[in-house]
Amino acid sequence: MNKLKRILILVMLSSIFSGMVCFAQNPIIQNVYTADPAPMVHNDTLFLFTGHDEDNATVKGFIMKDYLCFSTTDMVNWTQHAPIFNVDSLGWAAKYNANAAQAIYRNGKYYFYISPWSGLADGGDCISVVVSDSPYGPFKDALGKPLVSPSQTNYNPHLWEDIDPTVFIDDDGQAYLYWGNNSLYCIKLNKNMISYSGDIITFDIKDTVAFGSDYEEAPWLFKRNSTYYLFYAAHIPEAIYYATSNSPTGPWKYGGVIMKGMAQGCIGNHPGVIQYKGNWYLFYFNQDLPGGHDKRRAVNVIPFDFNPDGSISELNHSKAGVTKPVANLNPYIRTEAETMAWEEGIKTTSDSKTGVYVTDINNRDYIKVRSVDFGKGAKSFDASVASASSGGKIEIHIDSISGSLLGTCIVDNTGDWQKWVTKSCKIIKTKGVHDLYFVFKGDEGQLFNFDYWKFK
């Protein structure tokens, strides 16, 4: 092969790889390790509650202290909010056991069902409920004790049997809570959502007609038309399966595999299913972030649909994720800097005064925001920033990281990392819908903090 051909092939491969990076949207959160996705729709917003794998977790064991919340109105840009609950605040529960959880809205409040480690006499994981007036928290312990204790369950008693709660409110208003590892339990919640009536229902997970060859953990229940769907994880490495029923309490009928074990690139998995703006989505996790492993995971999402008979075909993990947004982003209202479709290099943090903001910004880091509708044209740009260094600049590109340069916003030293000022710049008049890239430039070291932005 001559030199010219080799050069052309390398250029072509580089172009293909760059395109793959450009269009990658999974994992959907890149600046923090997330797991156990639990989507919830309220009004026009989809809220995504996740577990949080700490950066210092090793392959030897999980370190999960708190729960996180993200939101979207377009399924491609995700806004990060401050941590909503830390298991340390329970008092009676042991540290570092923020296992899988799910939230639901009822009667003006948000109920978040979690499965921490009980520090009580009948130690082991348990089911607890915390409550808030806002999906953004703060959530507070509703009972001061578990809702369900380990001593109440004995189908397959072991220390982590009572984990992974999923909650569901049926059309008649009856609420149900399911959970279990190597067991599957259900209770009927009362209308106050923090107590239940009747006995704990125990399902026979060895029933192959109901659950196929195995049931392990991570149940997720939802209803479509008149059919109840139960997604769950089983086997090691974990695959996602489903069963259906005409009743929320069974009997269940095994439906098949949803996603094969390791297909997404992780030994574990946990489904979360939601319908939003007419489309169905499956949330799950893998370990695709830099430094990731099976104790540092990352949430993904893909769209899916049902077959005419209500069955579900096997789904494949996709790096592209959601390619078609369900709405466009309005750039003429305040948009939090932590609203992003993709990022490289940055981190987020929060405090009681400013809330969440982007930090640890260094030269050549960037944020991508998808499907921004500039309408008839934007003329200027504002950014709320703070810096105790020499500062830097925000280059505003469209359609790719090296796409057309609309303008450059200069960020000077503001006197402190928390002294926020608004910096502005003129931009080339831009019309229509574009992907937006904020590319950060400057000297070595941290350049500035970035709170929000707005076009005019």
Return the SS3 of 397: strand
Q: Give residue 322's identity as a one-letter amino acid code.
A: V
Helix (H) or strand (E) holding 304: strand 298-304
Rounded CA separation 326/306 (Å):
19
Do residues 266 and 405 both lie within one domain? Answer: no
Both 197 and 241 in a single domain? Answer: yes
Boundary of a domain, candidates 304, 322, 355:
304
Q: State the sign of the Cα–Cα–Cα–Cα dihedral 341, 344, 349, 354.
A: negative
The boundaries of the domain holding residue 100 are 21-304
Residue 3 placed within a domain:
no
**What's the rounded Cα separation, in Å, for the pair 208 and 91?**
41
Are residue 249 and residue 106 in the same domain, yes or no?
A: yes
pLDDT of residue 119: 77
Residues 343 and 300 in one domain: no
Helix, coil or strand: residue 316: coil
Residue at token pair 């909010």: 81
pLDDT at residue 17, rounded to an integer = 35
Is 60 exposed, middle or buried, given 0-12, 13-18 or 19+ CB atoms closer than 10 A?
exposed
92 domain-assigned:
yes
Dihedrals phi, psi of 267, to nearest 5 degrees: -70, -25
Residue 12 lies in a domain: no
Same domain for 352 and 274, yes or no, is: no
Question: What is the reported pLDDT for 397?
Answer: 98
Considering only CA atoms, give the Rg of the chain: 23
Q: Kindly state whether residues 92 and 226 are assigned to the same domain.
A: yes
Give the domain CATH number at 437: 2.60.120.260
Residue 313 lies in a domain: no
Domain count, the chain: 2
128 & 239 share domain: yes
Q: Is residue 229 part of a domain?
A: yes
Spatial CA neighbour of 315 closest among 252, 246, 242, 243: 242
CA angle 269, 235, 179 (to 5 degrees): 65
Select from 376, 377, 375, 384 the least CA-distant residue to 438. Answer: 384
Q: 204 and 113, same structural domain?
A: yes
Give the strands of the sheet with 140-141, arranged side by side. 102-106, 109-114, 128-132, 140-141
- Please give the single-letter amino acid code of residue 290: P
Asked if 76 and 31 sit in the same domain, the reply is yes
pTM above 0.85, yes or no: yes
Q: Are residues 376 and 285 in the same domain?
A: no
Average confidence (pLDDT) per 10 residues, the chain, 456 residues:
38 38 83 98 97 96 96 98 95 82 97 91 89 97 96 94 98 98 98 98 98 98 98 98 98 98 97 98 98 97 98 98 98 98 97 97 98 96 98 98 98 98 96 98 98 98
CA 229 to chain centre: 21
Query: Is 287 in contact with 266 (CB distance < 8 Å)?
Result: yes
Strand partners, 402: none
The domain boundary, picked from 253, 286, 304, lies at 304
Residue 48 in domain: yes
Do both 284 and 350 map to the same domain?
no
Residue 293 maps to a domain: yes
Q: Which helix (H) or strand (E) holds 22?
A: helix 3-23
What pLDDT score does 120 carry? 78
Q: What is the CATH number of the domain that holds 235?
A: 2.115.10.20
pLDDT value at position 7?
34
pLDDT score at 95: 63
Largest CA distance in the chain: 78
| pLDDT score of 238 | 98
Tokens of 22: 């450009």
**Distance from the Cα of residue 265 to its chain's centroid:** 17
| 74 shares its domain with 126 | yes
Last residue of a domain, one of 304, 327, 361: 304
Q: Which of 32, 23, 41 is nearest to 341 (CA)?
A: 23
Q: Is residue 258 part of a domain?
A: yes
Predicted confidence at residue 118, as pLDDT, reads 85
DSSP letter assigned to residue 5: H
Q: Which residues in 368-401 are b (16+ Cβ under 10 Å) and which e? A: bbbbbebeeebeebbbbbbbebebbbbbbbbeeb
Tell me, what's the pLDDT at 94? 66
